[in-house]
Amino acid sequence: MQRKVRNVGAIWRSMLGMLWSKAAATTLGSLVASLVIAASGGQAQPAFPTRPMTIVVPAAAGGPTDTVARLIAEPMGRTLGQQIVVENVGGAGGTIGVGRVAKAAGDGYTLLVWHIGQSTAPSLYDNLRYDVFNDFDPIGRITDVPMTVVGKKSLAAKDIAELLTWLREKQDQVTYAHAGIGSASHLCGLMLMSALNIKMHAVVYRGTGPAMNDLVGGQFDVMCDQTTGTANQINAGTIKGFAATTQARIPLLAALPTLSEAGVKGFEVSAWHALWGPKGLPKEVVEKLTAALQGALREPVVIERMAGLATVPVAQDLATPAALKAQLEAEVAKWGAVIRAAGVKAN
């Protein structure tokens, strides 16, 4: 009997033990689950990213925007644990590629690296099929890139003064390249023509990467493009560098006077690049992308490669959605006024 009672006690103890450990496990489990849900803003979310991602560059491969996108794609992909493929969708001053991203799913798997053109297109195109504010979610700014006036090697002009004289003399016999209406090279060319009160003959490309190949080959006369496309060629002597379009000289290309110094007073344009996604990105996806972008911009190899192209990553607090939103608003207003004053339209 005594033995029986002891056995019943043992059974009870072991049953209670099982119940306790099950309850403890359940409590721990729900605690972990609620922490995960709390961390994800109240809703359980699938991990992001679970498959490769794409950055659309709305200009040809080998050009300045392509270079910037490829510089951040690799380190961002490493941080996020997925490959990021760069897809070049050039044409129509970038509006085809940008339009593609506007219509993509807002899940973070299709992103856009573009530039100042995002702020000029609304004023240049009457029938733009996207809205730069409402069809995109900003992720962050990447870099601001100075521009340069360059020419083919065989031009007789030795410096910017001689080039300006020649441009004024030859006018529309001069061929200048740009990457389509709304591109940075287009904007810079327009500003130069309006400042000099001349008209040059445009040769249009899907990006300034292919234009640069043709400039090295001497197939047109001049171009205004980002240092991310021109610095190496100027320094290698395959093209002629004439002037910087910035307020101050560019340290890496210190021999180039600014256009302002050369008498084109107040001339200033630089191209800024940024990262967007289509509208509707979940908050935690934006946060992950922003953190990955900031990480990429801190990488010594990215900083070093940008330095070699006469640029620097933006400060970390500018590689944020809020800073890009503010930048776009300011730039749309700024270039809208310039474009309206110049009376230019794409269509």
The residues of the shown chain that bind ligand ASP, judged by CB under 6 A, are 59-60, 63-65, 117, 179, 183-185, 207-209, 225-226, 229
The least CB distance from residue 183 to ligand ASP, in Å, is: 3
Q: End-to-end CA distance of the chain, in Å?
A: 102
Q: SS3 for 60?
A: coil
Residue number with CB closer to ligand ASP (59 or 262): 59
- Residue 217 and residue 214: Cα distance in Å, rounded? 5
Residue number with CB closer to ligand ASP (206 or 288): 206
Q: Is the peptide bond before 46 cis (omega within 30 degrees of 0)?
A: no
DSSP secondary structure string for all residues of 119-149: HHHHHH-TT-SS-TTTSEEEEEEEEEEEEEE
The least CB distance from residue 228 to ligand ASP, in Å, is: 8
Residue number with CB closer to ligand ASP (226 or 233): 226
Q: SS3 for 279?
A: coil
The least CB distance from residue 152 to ligand ASP, in Å, is: 17
Residue number with CB closer to ligand ASP (116 or 174): 116
Residue number with CB closer to ligand ASP (104 or 211): 211
Distances (CA, A) of 41 to 27, 35, 38, 49: 21, 10, 5, 18
The least CB distance from residue 34 to ligand ASP, in Å, is: 47
Rounded to the nearest 10 degrees, the angle between the axes of helix 64-80 and helix 283-298 is 110
The least CB distance from residue 236 to ligand ASP, in Å, is: 18
Residue number with CB closer to ligand ASP (49 or 144): 144
Locus of tokens 């030859």: 170
The least CB distance from residue 185 to ligand ASP, in Å, is: 3
Distances (CA, A) of 70 to 54, 55, 77, 85, 142: 11, 9, 11, 9, 12
Residue number with CB closer to ligand ASP (185 or 246): 185
- Residue 257 and residue 248: Cα distance in Å, rounded? 8
Residue number with CB closer to ligand ASP (202 or 286): 202
Both tokens of residue 9?
Answer: 């006690």
The least CB distance from residue 112 to ligand ASP, in Å, is: 13
| Residue 149, phi then psi, degrees to nearest 5 | -95, 120
DSSP secondary structure string for all residues of 283-310: HHHHHHHHHHHHHHHH-HHHHHHHHTTT
Contacts of 169 (CB under 8 A, 6+ apart): none
The least CB distance from residue 102 to ligand ASP, in Å, is: 18
The least CB distance from residue 66 to ligand ASP, in Å, is: 6
Distances (CA, A) of 108 to 41, 49, 128, 142: 17, 8, 23, 17
Q: SS3 for 75?
A: helix
Which residue's CB comes closest to ligand ASP?
Answer: 63
Residue number with CB closer to ligand ASP (147 or 163): 147
